[in-house]
Amino acid sequence: MRKERALFVVLLAITCLFVLVGYNNQTKIIIAPQEMISVAHRGASAYAPENTRAAFQKGVDMQADYLECDVHLSIDDELIVMHDDKVDRTTDGKGYIRNMTLAELKTLDAGKQFGQAFSGEEIMTLQELIEEFYDEVGLVIEVKNPTNYPGIEEKVVQVLEQYDDLSRIIIQSFDVESMKKIHTLLPDVQIAILMRPTDSFMTSKKIEEYSAFASYINFNVSFTNKRMVDLVHKHGSKVLVWSKKDRRLIWKAQKYGVDGIISDFSERPEELHLAQE
């Protein structure tokens, strides 16, 4: 009788826990305070292989406001979603994206390096990503090393021009000239400039120059401060921050008054595992 009572108490406690937590795949992980934009960095890449359909879907399931991805050009001018310029780290292949065709890239497994459960995940194109998630969530598209890919700006614009509403699309890069070019080609899309550590103390004049065409000026949270965030806001732009394994990300973001956080979507602020852009 005592054992039965103890078992009943345990079962009741587990049931209550599920009710309180809201045990379902749609539960929102609070990665950013409610007033901030939450951006799933390379998808929810703490949970699934980065820049894959599985990671992007997980970001949607966790109710991110935006999914962040990176793009390169293949040798046959396809926009490939991957962070590195080589496939070695995240797939079972080797070589530079710019030396491979889309057909060759599609034969690679982009999931099993993360875990056997994700074996068979394909590399995605930007076209595929937008077609699949356009109606569900915002997208932050980072153009990687555009000087390595002549014409990549025009390719990105060609994909986006197929869509009437670009209000939830942000294009970003560390390359200011590339972002100016996209702004000229497609003024309706929001532009973000990614700042390097050496840009942490920009002048008000430089911020004003960037804000003339960029809706966002984004910093690694370790290399910014409230003065910079206030200056960006003063000139009418917004700030997203990211970090590299900095457990103080949310605290700093709140302190500085930024507009949003780019993260891998770990469950708890104290367990954030964030990757460098």
Q: Which of 41, 72, 233, 235 is catalytic?
A: 41
Per DSSP bridges, beta strands 79-81 and 66-73 are: antiparallel
Catalytic residue check, 41:
yes
Residues contacting 153, CB < 8 A, separation 6+: 143, 146, 178, 181, 182, 185
Burial call 187-196: b when 16+ CB within 10 Å, e when fewer? eebbbbbbbe
Beta pairing partners, 191: 171
Single out the catalytic residue among 72, 83, 183, 273.
83
Q: What is the dihedral of CA 115, 41, 102, 85, to 10 degrees?
A: -90
Amino acid at 20: L
d(CA 235, CA 209): 9
233: annotated active-site residue: no
Residues tagged active-site: 41, 83
